[in-house]
Structure 1
Amino acid sequence: MRAAAATLLAITATVVGLLAAQPAQAVVICEQFGTTVAGSYIIQNNRWGTSATQCINTTSNGFTVTQQDGQGNTSGAPVSYPSIYLGCHYSNCSPNSPLPKQISTIGTANSSIGVSYPSSGTFNGSYDIWLNADTNVSGVQDTEIMIWLNRQGNIQPIGSQTGTANIAGRGWQVWTGSNGQNNVVSYLFTGSVITSFSFDVMDFIRDTFTRGSQYGTSAWYLTSIQAGFEPWSGGVGLAVNSFSASVTNSGGTQPPGTPGTPTTSNVTSSSVTLNWAASSGTVNSYLIERATGATSTSFTQVGTSSSPSFTNSGLAANTTYRYRVRAQNNAGTSGYSGIVNVTTTSGGGGGGCTTTATPSSQWNNGYVMNVTVTNTGTSTLNGWTSTVTLPSGHAHTGSWPTAATVSGQTLTQRNQNWNGSLAPGQSATWGFQASRPNGSTQLPTSFGCTSP
């Protein structure tokens, strides 16, 4: 009996050991918005665009699409976004979520993924990075950053291609647009399809901020890091084999990001107010540098600021100054912003003017810019001369309403009889088209204006 009992105990211990060694059973989700917790993450079926069945088998850090019966229009939206995420999505937050977190306080947001794709179907494999101006995660967020790892079928990102980027060691087409609810910045892979990827999400966020302040600033919040697939049709076999994401505090452990190119306001005969897009990361202060003369490169520091704004006083009237900015913290300094040229107005109530420019369209190797000449003085201008300096490697290919004079990299446009007289605050416009090296996203940042 003792021998039998000992044998039974041994058998029982072996069985318990074998059961404990088995992985947990996979959760199958077919509910439209069904979710499950997977460690530090949430996995969601997210079948938002169809009433047809979709099912996913989940694992501890991924999932596989096992059924997808929906059919989307390739000129419209996909049928779903089955995905795994860190953070919050429609108030459903992952366990002990570090998100939402203000972007200026984030050091790194590292993520890695391994994915598999079937040979048939129309779908993309993509990250969805969500940013919001505040911490409200109950609904649609303000900006969506999509990182396309793969594209199969006749589909494309929202909007149109407006530039290119080189991030995380790869080349990307950059598309910008809106889906009617939020702004979307998409990074479409170039080169080989991505099946394994490790990167810092912050690199894409920083690049997004260079595309315009409407997409966010460092005062906004990162609310979730999601990865999965958007199927239009098919998609059985799409799989996230592994996923990880983590967020660390900045704490000044790395230099801040490069601030935006300054714009100007309240230009007088003796002062200029500068404003710029804030740097990402921790910023102790901004360093403002100035050079005198439309083409001068002799910059000296003229002040510091704890916010992305600065007023420079004690300037000479009717003089062109150049400004650039960089940020600093305990870890070091950022790169320099772009340069802005500002011409002060004439003294004694005279006239003065400024030149500003904005891109109206961009493509892989060129762009069109609309240029505005504004009377910033207190008396009527009777004639003006506006200049734009193109970056190295760029070439003028056309301008209007008349051909600009080209000297080296500088374009000069003078007023016509019908637009030379500008009352205080009034503006005139001209425009130009230029080419640039393939893959460049650089635009002119050096402008000047003089008046008789």
Structure 2
Amino acid sequence: MRALTASAGPALGAAAAVTAVLAGAATAVTTLDTPRAAAATALCDQYAKATTADGQYRIQNNRWGTSAQQCIEPTATGFRLTRADGAVPTDGAPESYPSIYWGCHHADCTPGFTPVQASGSTFRSVRASVDTTYPAAGSATGEWNAAYDLWFDPTPRTDGQNTGAEVMVWLNHAGRPQPIGREVATVALAGATWDVWFGTTGWNVVSYVRTTPTSSLDLPVSTFFDDALARGWVQRSWYLTSVQAGFEPWTGGAGLAVTSFSAGTGPAATPAPDPSPTTTARPAPTVTRAVRPTSGRPICSATPRTDSAGGTGAVQTVTVTNGARARTGWTTVATLPAGQTVTNLWNGTWTQSGRTLTVRNASYDGSLAAGATTTFGYQLAATGSTATPATITCS
């Protein structure tokens, strides 16, 4: 969406922290690479890529979340999703992010691209344009989104996973998919109204969901970056590493197509100031999902407390509160203060890696009605602080 995710990177938003890395953030693999896109040449290998006929952009199948067959057919100015056999639960990450991009995707860069620092004048001139087509209304089109994915990193990264932010711009979506995190505001940008979502999954995922679908969008990349900057989710010192456009399918999606795409530098846009944006605000998120954009299943919250302190033997309890709809299964991920090691835990199953404590429901407390709560507790061997976790998320 990669929220522009999965995503990762999404999608948000993106969301996204899932077994496979997010769409737009697939692990480096050996790919089938067609030097130039040719009509009717299908790309079906998991990470198959092609270069557009003009040599400017890369097209990728990017099927990272399913073993089911997926194929895209490059065209002179984009691609079409011709086969989409997969079907993954809509309360988790999507199957893939078939897409076209300008920039770098895990060390695979388009010709002459250099990451663009958001504080420089060149960034103000970066513009992107996309035109898409969707299957006929009323047909079995599945569940998917159509989204830009803008990736930012604190360094001029050309390989590996970006760690700054993924800014997703949802042009359209079908079915139940929602971005990673929680809806926090509505804003007017680029001549339309957008619902704003925010979540984290190892990096910030900021998603803008158009309230009225569209099949095309042409805008300076700074349009959405400036809004995210005013909210404190990105930084001017960060670098734009890629502009991507494509689709995140959960089920179906054959017939989705990017009919044209362009991205690059042009006349600079007028820099925007950094005040707080004018929006219709919603309560700020307190927790975020640790997956790519999800659908249907509401977010939950996790609130820790210290029951007894005193170094070795300290006991803490976490209350998990469900959202507006019933769910089966929950997971919390906490960042423990330095020096804390969990020695025993009840009412859940757990693993600890470094300072990261992951707790999943036990067999008897995973089903939660709307608004219901459950608790788990654990005992610490603490060599330093016995404070509650610095961060804790629930999904």
TM-score, normalised on structure 2?
0.57
Q: Distance in 1 between matches of 2:285 and 2:63?
A: 42
Q: Does residue 1:236 correspond to 2:254, yes or no?
A: yes
The aligned residue for residue 33 of structure 1 is 47
User: Post-superposition shift, 1:244?
Assistant: 0.9
User: Matched residue of 2:186: which SS?
Assistant: strand
Amino acid at match of 1:203: T
Q: How does 1:80-119 map to 2 (within 5 A)?
A: 80-97=96-113, 99-105=114-120, 106-118=123-135, 119=139
Q: Does residue 1:55 correspond to 2:81, yes or no?
A: no
The aligned residue for residue 288 of structure 1 is none
Amino acid at match of 2:148: Y
Q: Distance in 2 between matches of 1:259 and 1:69?
A: 45
Q: Distance in 1 between matches of 2:219 and 2:111?
A: 23
The aligned residue for residue 123 of structure 1 is 144
Given that residues 116 and 239 in structure 1 are in contact (C-alpha distance below 8 angstroms), is that contact kept between their aligned partners in structure 2?
A: yes
Given that residues 182 and 285 in structure 2 are in contact (C-alpha distance below 8 angstroms), is that contact kept between their aligned partners in structure 1?
A: no
The aligned residue for residue 409 of structure 1 is none
Q: How does 1:148-163 map to 2 (within 5 A)?
A: 148-163=170-185
The aligned residue for residue 46 of structure 1 is 62
User: Matched residue of 2:226: which SS?
Assistant: helix
> How many residues get paired?
241
The aligned residue for residue 168 of structure 2 is 146
User: Matched residue of 1:237: which SS?
Assistant: coil
More divergent stretch after superposition (102-111 vs 65-74)? 102-111
Q: Does residue 1:171 correspond to 2:193, yes or no?
A: yes
Amino acid at match of 2:115: P
Q: Distance in 1 between matches of 2:282 and 2:165?
A: 26
- Partner deviation per Cα, 1:69-100 (whole Å, 9 max, x = no partner): 11111111100000000000111101222x41
Q: Distance in 2 between matches of 1:198 and 1:369?
A: 30
Given that residues 80 and 255 in structure 2 are in contact (C-alpha distance below 8 angstroms), is that contact kept between their aligned partners in structure 1?
A: yes
User: Matched residue of 2:265: which SS?
Assistant: coil
* Residue in structure 1 matching 2:219, options 190, 195, 199: 199
User: Matched residue of 1:29: which SS?
Assistant: coil
Q: Distance in 1 between matches of 2:239 and 2:172?
A: 27
User: Matched residue of 1:125: which SS?
Assistant: strand
Q: Distance in 2 between matches of 1:256 and 1:203?
A: 10
Q: How does 1:338-353 map to 2 (within 5 A)?
A: none
Q: Distance in 1 between matches of 2:40 and 2:130?
A: 19
Q: Distance in 1 between matches of 2:182 and 2:285?
A: 17
User: Post-superposition shift, 1:367?
Assistant: 4.5
Q: Which has the higher helix share?
A: 1
**Structure 1 ranges of 4+ moved more than 4 A:** 363-370
Q: Does residue 1:257 correspond to 2:278, yes or no?
A: no
Given that residues 40 and 96 in structure 1 are in contact (C-alpha distance below 8 angstroms), is that contact kept between their aligned partners in structure 2?
A: no
Q: Distance in 2 between matches of 1:243 and 1:143?
A: 22
Structure-2 change in CA distance of 1:48 and 1:24 (3 Å): closer
Given that residues 184 and 285 in structure 2 are in contact (C-alpha distance below 8 angstroms), is that contact kept between their aligned partners in structure 1?
A: no
Q: Distance in 2 between matches of 1:369 and 1:134?
A: 27
User: Matched residue of 2:67: which SS?
Assistant: coil
Structure-2 change in CA distance of 1:79 and 1:369 (3 Å): closer
C-alpha RMSD over aligned residues: 2.4
| Structure 2 alignment gaps of length 5 or more | 1-36, 287-395
Q: Distance in 1 between matches of 2:264 and 2:205?
A: 23
- Relative contact order, higher structure (CA 8 A, sep 6+): 2
Q: What is the identity percentage for the equivalent residue pairs of Structure 1 and Structure 2?
A: 44
The aligned residue for residue 10 of structure 2 is none
- Partner deviation per Cα, 1:156-195 (whole Å, 9 max, x = no partner): 00001111111110100000001x222100000112x211
Q: Distance in 2 between matches of 1:249 and 1:218?
A: 19
Q: How does 1:285-300 map to 2 (within 5 A)?
A: none
Q: Distance in 1 between matches of 2:125 and 2:196?
A: 22
